[in-house]
Structure 1
């Protein structure tokens, strides 16, 4: 009771103090004994409380992720999946793969009609779009291997938030408003996110999620078995049967998270530690940094046309390789990861870059390619504890609020990750619709992802923990933050706040954030032959910088995130 009172008191105070205490603008938040950075201030505070109580970075990441499943339903989740990269203070590095899997009944043509076209957007809407969730298995595995506090204790903040409620965010209001016109389509979701199933929640009103609290208590009591077996599993399977889904009790029973070896590279004396496939993020970030390493990015200038040009060309070539080679390693054992992350290969790619003119992305130049829609609605957690252990964790439901289906009686949203597979085998066009073998649907296969949880180390110690949501843009967001820190020597807040660009090979267009770039930069960039379009924002990076000399921690939550906050002590 005492622990619960302390946590609730902190959360209650934060409701009133958040406008004053929230990390904003370009000022990093300093801390000496630990820090947590997320897209929701209550989750950051929950993780920081665990650190304050003596938990390590893994403990805090687990507690934070479960808290986010309550406070950030658009992306925080029990019904999704993701990746975790861990670097301890002794130099050990590892990763946890808890990406969702295709159900046993899935097939490569499952979303196609008799004409070979996608039927009714079924790979993104409805329960056929749901992959077997991995989040609970992944968090449990991470804790069993590397946690220090009791599992039960780590679930307390999330349970308290679900039972006692928290203020409905203005950023969540649009979803509640949307449900007003779709409550017959999503009745179990309306039960959670509409007041009395008839009114939208307004900002500041208290949202309680009692079914979700009961689910969390089953997980608290039984670990991963509290989700993949017993009552929660039955609720999932019953909901599937009633709504034309195909996930079965066997799918849940056979799901396993994996501990895997990270992919690593080096950039200007720093070690880059990233997630291996089925995440494409680690390989892609390392490949792009290898290409950029031969250029004097600092001398070119921050966000100059020259630096953006070479960065775009690195993005173009790397995304083409991502398309051609990467997928689930359990189904693609011969992926050339050593080649893609090598300095020699980067040198060969650089030979094809002209500093005076843009290359052309042409799907006809590739016999196979993969790139298609990925939603920007993901979320990232960065944690460093007082001992210098670091966690970079990215997880998602795919689209905002995933499939928009809440499991009746269980209180959590299901993902729509099946849309991350190539839905039309063999079909590629210049607009970015592509269908290659490495990422075609198969039973128990994990879909390719762009999530890029990354840790940068120097002399065996973490110095930068970074990640972001943003679908395919995640890779390029993480790249640019790393370059901003290492090449341009920006502090973590300025590195994150700096405007960003995105190019993904196909379509052959570069997207600029609508603010922060000078008209002259855009003009010179276009004169090089690049097609340019603007977008409102790109990503919501969450980062921590560890000063190698003083050991002081500096955290920054991207101001692009409405409720984001860095919290330390």
Structure 2
């Protein structure tokens, strides 16, 4: 099959990698055996791909017992809240895309966090009007009203077949009985201990009574989180927003000067939105709409790139990387100017995603020279999520497919556990602009469209994506990665459609990224030195940095076979077929 033709070339290329980024990228997951790093997992009746093998296993069990892809996705989402607390969560928010072949519909569930009612534009500034980063990152006011519980419950209620109690049962068991700690879990807590140990409630959950670290191979239990999940299972999702859990959150806030109230929690509800839709070489592209910026700019970049014969230009050749980078720069410049929460900001989606606009942008691209970012547009880049988001993809043989990305921002969010409830609070308020012109945690400058306002959703880069071929689900993908989420997802789509890769090769292949500002191409190890030299000759500044993203993905072949790609950039990644 053509999708496998690059396997040998890619294997040789990756074998030549060196340096820390290569070590990260080539870390082995439980689903990818030595010598088979570019072979996808195969299933006849469905596929699960998540960033943690325990979440993959419980989702697989749901499918095996007759549940559908939404049932499995909700089960995985809650399991990740237990097993991967740096990004899996019930204290954060995200986006879910659901494609149903039978109805032909693709649904977008927006369960992004909202600013509390008492939030105001200058709340993260000092008396001199300067932004104070600590306030939007490591205090109780850093947290938006969480949406995960309401969002997952909505998906299950409207598109699943299981009860919420059934979907929560595996997570409850994992929290109550515990699980064996993998190396990545132990390393994360060790690396973040100075920040996490500042809060007594957090120390109690993530460190031993004497303050020492949990080690890989030890069992880790979370009784307070188990109790919280049991309450939600017994009383439904509104328990989180109006019951004992809401009381614990409000108490935590009041004790530490937080502005989030019981009324904020009670007022929270997720939204169903129309996904962004575009086409690329005959495939239908569906991705998340605002307050995600990802869908608009995935479609925009693909529209620009459709005008080039990417396959003939070659995978990660200098010419291909050049046009990709030029498309990326223009999309990120537009992101800075136009994107925000559509409940508060008018976003010209139709224009951004139109083929005619892409033709205009493509005409600006010099085939032999990098366009300096200063010549593309003027504006202010907006904040992005941290690397510690998590994505999972699930598909079943009834025609349902789910692409879900959610986060608490940063690694471990604000670092603050709700005392007695056992879960971490997000610090998504840092994704707003603390002050126009002031950099966020990633050195990027805030803009007016993303200023703090009551009940507003902060802009996001999370980009759950589903590609359809002749009406059938074809590719389910998405990624964590902060500002690299959009470009990581773009490259998985291009690797499959333009370069004919199988799904494991598509997610394992080395990636590049350009976000307009700073004006540089960021690349993973694995790009040829000769290619880098050609790019520099075109006028690019090339920056070789750590691995980008973790695109847990599924490809459905023409014969109905499911193939799964677990991204080796996360050592716990796992794809399981049935």
Same fold (TM over 0.5): yes
Question: Secondary structure of 1:544's match?
Answer: strand
Aligned to 2:250: 237
Correspondent of 1:151 among 141, 164, 186: 164
Aligned to 1:218: 231
Q: Quote the Cα distance in structure 2 between the aligned partners of 1:273 and 1:138.
A: 19
Aligned to 2:206: 193
Q: Quote the Cα distance in structure 1 between the aligned partners of 2:351 and 2:503.
A: 31
Aligned to 1:44: 56
Q: Quote the Cα distance in structure 2 between the aligned partners of 1:125 and 1:393.
A: 26
Please state if 1:339 is matched with 2:348.
Answer: no
- 1:226-250 superposed Cα distances (whole Å, 9 cap, x missing partner): 2111110010011111122111001
Deviation at 1:182, TM superposition (A): 5.2
Deviation at 1:511, TM superposition (A): 0.5
Deviation at 1:121, TM superposition (A): 2.3
Aligned to 2:491: 480
Please state if 1:295 is matched with 2:308.
Answer: yes
Correspondent of 2:142 among 117, 129, 152: 129
Deviation at 1:372, TM superposition (A): 3.1
Aligned to 2:509: 498
- 1:296-350 superposed Cα distances (whole Å, 9 cap, x missing partner): 1001100000000000000000000011001001001x21100000000000001
Deviation at 1:73, TM superposition (A): 0.5
Correspondent of 1:553 among 550, 554, 562: 562
Deviation at 1:426, TM superposition (A): 5.2
Aligned to 1:166: 179
- 1:347-375 superposed Cα distances (whole Å, 9 cap, x missing partner): 00011110110011129942x43323531
Q: Quote the Cα distance in structure 2 between the aligned partners of 1:100 and 1:399.
A: 15
Gaps of 5+ in 1: 1-17
Cα distance change on mapping 1:187 and 1:88 into 2, 3 Å: same
Moved more, 322-331 or 239-248: 239-248
Aligned to 1:57: 69
- 1:475-520 superposed Cα distances (whole Å, 9 cap, x missing partner): 000000100000000000001111001111111111111x211110
Deviation at 1:50, TM superposition (A): 0.6
Please state if 1:451 is matched with 2:453.
Answer: no
Aligned to 2:120: 107
Q: Quote the Cα distance in structure 1 between the aligned partners of 2:376 and 2:438.
A: 12
Correspondent of 1:142 among 146, 155, 172: 155
Aligned to 1:7: none
Correspondent of 2:366 among 351, 354, 358: 354
Q: Quote the Cα distance in structure 2 between the aligned partners of 1:288 and 1:157.
A: 40
Correspondent of 2:532 among 509, 522, 528: 522
CA contact (8 A) 2:370 2:540 kept: yes
Aligned to 1:74: 86
Cα distance change on mapping 1:340 and 1:192 into 2, 3 Å: same
Cα distance change on mapping 1:254 and 1:344 into 2, 3 Å: same
Across the aligned residues of Structure 1 and Structure 2, the Cα RMSD in angstroms comes to 1.7
Deviation at 1:20, TM superposition (A): 6.5
Aligned to 1:388: 399
Moved more, 417-426 or 111-120: 111-120
Q: Quote the Cα distance in structure 2 between the aligned partners of 1:215 and 1:432.
A: 36
Please state if 1:262 is matched with 2:271.
Answer: no
- 1:176-212 superposed Cα distances (whole Å, 9 cap, x missing partner): 3256545651211111111224210000100000100
How many residues get paired?
Answer: 547
Question: Secondary structure of 1:79's match?
Answer: coil
Cα distance change on mapping 1:43 and 1:188 into 2, 3 Å: same
Question: Secondary structure of 1:84's match?
Answer: strand
- 1:83-127 superposed Cα distances (whole Å, 9 cap, x missing partner): 000101222111100000011111111111122222252211211
Deviation at 1:175, TM superposition (A): 3.6
Please state if 1:562 is matched with 2:565.
Answer: no
Moved more, 54-63 or 419-428: 419-428
Q: Quote the Cα distance in structure 2 between the aligned partners of 1:389 and 1:71.
A: 26
Deviation at 1:534, TM superposition (A): 1.0
Correspondent of 1:424 among 428, 435, 442: 435
CA contact (8 A) 1:179 1:194 kept: no
Write out aligned runs for 1:247-258 (5 A).
247-258=260-271
Deviation at 1:436, TM superposition (A): 2.2
Q: Quote the Cα distance in structure 1 between the aligned partners of 2:148 and 2:469.
A: 30
Cα distance change on mapping 1:360 and 1:244 into 2, 3 Å: same
CA contact (8 A) 1:432 1:507 kept: no
Q: Post-superposition, which runs of at least 4 consecutive aligned residues in structure 1 deviate over 6 A?
A: none
Moved more, 21-30 or 88-97: 21-30
Correspondent of 2:41 among 20, 29, 32: 29
Q: Quote the Cα distance in structure 1 between the aligned partners of 2:168 and 2:228.
A: 11
Correspondent of 1:540 among 538, 550, 555: 550
CA contact (8 A) 1:180 1:199 kept: no
Moved more, 237-246 or 176-185: 176-185
